[in-house]
Amino acid sequence: MSAEATNPEAHPEARPELRRRGRTRLDLRRLGRAALLGPTSRDRLPDAIGHVAEAHRAHHPDADLSILRRAYLLAETSHRGQMRKSGEPYITHPLAVTLILAELGAETTTLTASLLHDTVEDTDVTLDQVRAEFGDEVCFIVDGVTKVEKIDYGAAAEPETFRKMLVATGNDVRVMSIKLADRLHNMRTLGVMRPEKQARIAKVTRDVLIPLAERLGVQALKTELEDLVFAILHPEEYESTRALIAAHAGERDPLPAIADSVRGVLREAGITAEVQVRPRHFVSVHRIARTRGELRGSDFGRILVLVGENADCYAVLGELHTCFTPVVSEFKDFIATPKFNLYQSLHTAVATPEGYVAEVIVRTRQMHRVAEAGVVALGNPYTTATPDAATTDPDEERVDPTRPGWLSRLLDWQQSAPDPDTFWTVLRAELAQDREITVFRADGGTLGLPAGASCIDAAYAQHGAAAHGCIGARVNGRLTSLSSPLSDGDTVQLLLAQDASSGPAAEWLDHARTPAARIAISSWLEAHPDRAMAPTSAARAPLSVVGARGGGGNAVADLPDATVRLAGCCTPVPPDAVAGFLVRGGAVTVHRIHCAAVAQMRAVGRTSVAVHWRATADCRVTLRAESFGRPHLLADLTEAIAREGVEVVSATVEPPVEQRVRHSYTLQLPDAAGLPALMRAMRDVPGVYDVSRV
C-alpha cells in the first residue's frame, strides 16, 4: 500500500486539525527503532504500539488488546528488512495508519486488519494464514484493501484495485476506512517523491478518495486530505492562504470573546454545553476568501457548541437567536434532515454588537463523533446482527447495515462497466456529484438518487434493464415526460411498455445523470445501431388514415329532405340526448344537449330542429387516445379497435411532443352500446394513458 511513502514531516503546516487538537506527533524513527528491537515479553504490548493501545483504550476501555499484539508481531516480522523511501522501517507505516483509525474510535477488528493491511500485498504472508490466525472478518478486510497485481492488469491495475475495494466496501465499510487512513499517511509523507508522481497521487486523492471520505462522513480525514492535496496541486494559492492564516494569527481574534458570550448566555439559560472555537482548515479559508473577498477575524473559524440531547440543540438555537441577531439565510437544520453521509448538526450565524458575524454549529456529542469519524464511529457493523444470523448461508453476499444508497448504486452500475477506462471515468463523474435526493416509489419504497436526476434515472434505478421499455411517468400524480428532473420527496410512478422491442431513445442520454442509466442506455444503443441512428420526431405533418366518410349516421331530423350532420365538437352517439340546428345550405347539425355549441347556436338565433335516433343501433364517434410514443403504437391501437368489430373511418396522428402522442379516430360502431368496451380496450394498449370522446 505504501512502499512509496516518504518524509513524515512533509507539509506539517497543512495539518491544522492535528495541531489545534494538541495531538502528539509520532516520532516514526523512534517507532522504527522500537520495531527493530523485536518482540517484548508475552505479557505486555510491544512499546512500538503503545500509542495505538492508548488511543484505542480512550474509546474502548474494555478492549482486548491481545489480538493487536499478535497482529503487530506478525506485521513486524513479515515487514522486517523492508524500508520506506524516507528511510524508516516499513512497519512504521501500518503503525501510523492504525493510530489514525484508533484516534477516530475504530474497533479492534479494524485496527487488527489495519496492522496487517500490507502483509499479503508486500510480504510472503498469505490470506489463508491471516484467516487461520485472525478469523474470516480480518481476512476479508485485508483482502479488500490488497491491490491487484500490476503484472496481471498492467495500466488497468489502479482502476481495478479501486473496483475491488469498492465491491469489498459494499460488504464491509471498514475496508474503505483503512484505505482512507492509508492514503492519509501516504499523503503526509509524500515529500521525497518526484513532483510528477506527487501530482498523480494527489489528483487521484482529489477525484476519488476525498469524495469517498465525504460520502462516508469521515470529515477528520477528508479535511486533512484536502489540505495536503491543495499544497501539492495548487502551491501558489496554498502559500498565499498560509500567509493569510499566519497574518491572522498575529491579530486579535474576536471568536474567543464571542465564544465567552455564548457560554454566558447558555449558562444563564441553564443549558449545559461545551463551547469551542474551531479554526477552519486551509481549503475552507481559501474558499471563504474567494467568496467574501477580504476576510475579517471571525471568518477564520467557527464556534462549536456540544450538548447532551437533541432537544438541547434546539434550546441552544433559541437562546442564540434571542440574545444575538441571527443571520436567517445561514440557518440549516441537518438534524431533522440529515445529510446522506450521516452528518447531523444545526448551522446558524449570528451578528454581534461589534459587527462581527460568527458561524455557529450546534450538535450533540454523539453527532460530533459521527461528524468527525463517520462510518468509523459506527463500530462493528455485525454486532447488531439478528439472533439467527449464524444460520445464514455463508455463500450469500454479506450485507452491511451501514451501506448507504450511493454505494449500492455504484456497486450496481460497476457490473455493467467491464472496461477499466469506462469504470474509472464514470466513477470520478459519479463521485463529483455531492448531493442526494430521496424519491418515493408508487409501491411505497424509496430511491436514492443524485441531485438533478430525472425520471429516466429513477426508471433504471428501480427496474434495471426493464427500464428500456419505460414510456412515461407520473410525478406526484401528474403525467410528465421522462426528461423531467426530480426533487427531494417526489413520488414517481414509472409506466413500462409490454412490447419487448421497446427501447430507449438516443436523447435519453441528454437527461440521464446516473452512471447506471447512462451505461445501460449506451449499451442498448450500441446493440441497436439502427434505432440509435433513427431520426428524432421533429415537426412533421400529422399522419392521416381516411376511409369512407359518412354524414349523420343514424340521426334523423324532423325536416324533410334535410342533410343531417353529426357535430365534430361533441360526436353524439345513441343514446345521447341531442339537439339539432339549421345551418347554411339547409343542413341540420346535431350536437349533444350539453355541448357548449348548443348555447352558442341559440345565442345567434339558429333555428332549432327536432332530432331523434333511428331504431338501428350503429353509430359514428370520434375518440382521442393520449399515449406515450413507442414503436408499433399505431398498429397496436388499430388492432385493438378491429378486435372490437369497429370500422375505422379516419385516423390522425399528431407529431410527438415530449415523447407524448395524440391519436384521433373517427369510428363506425355496429352498436353504440359497445362504446365503453371499445374505450377500455384502447386504454389497455401499452403506452395509452387516456381515451376520451372528442
**Catalytic residue annotation:** 121-122
Q: For residue 252, what are the contacts with CB-CB under 8 A and spacing of at least 6?
A: 297
Spatial separation of the C-alpha atoms in residues 153 and 147, rounded to whole Å? 11
Written as nine digits, the cell of 638 is: 388499430
The answer to whether 49 touches 72, Cβ cutoff 8 Å, is: yes
Spatial separation of the C-alpha atoms in residues 265 and 323, rounded to whole Å? 7
∠ CA 544-548-549, rounded to 5°: 85
Helices assigned H by DSSP within 418-514: 420-431, 455-463
278 has which bridge partners? 302
- Cell numbers 474509472 label which residue? 424
Spatial separation of the C-alpha atoms in residues 581 and 578, rounded to whole Å? 10
Written as nine digits, the cell of 618 is: 350503429
Distances, alpha carbon 118 to alpha carbons 82, 114, 139, 179, 555, in Å = 12, 8, 12, 11, 91
**Residue 234 CB neighbour total at 10 angstroms:** 15
What three-state secondary structure class fits 346?
strand
**Orientation angle between helical segments 282-292 and 235-249, nearest 10 degrees:** 90
Spatial separation of the C-alpha atoms in residues 77 and 185, rounded to whole Å? 21
Distances, alpha carbon 267 to alpha carbons 264, 323, 614, in Å = 5, 13, 92
Nearest CA among 547, 584, 546 for reference residue 565: 584
Spatial separation of the C-alpha atoms in residues 281 and 245, rounded to whole Å? 10
The answer to whether 565 touches 615, Cβ cutoff 8 Å, is: no
Written as nine digits, the cell of 294 is: 477580504
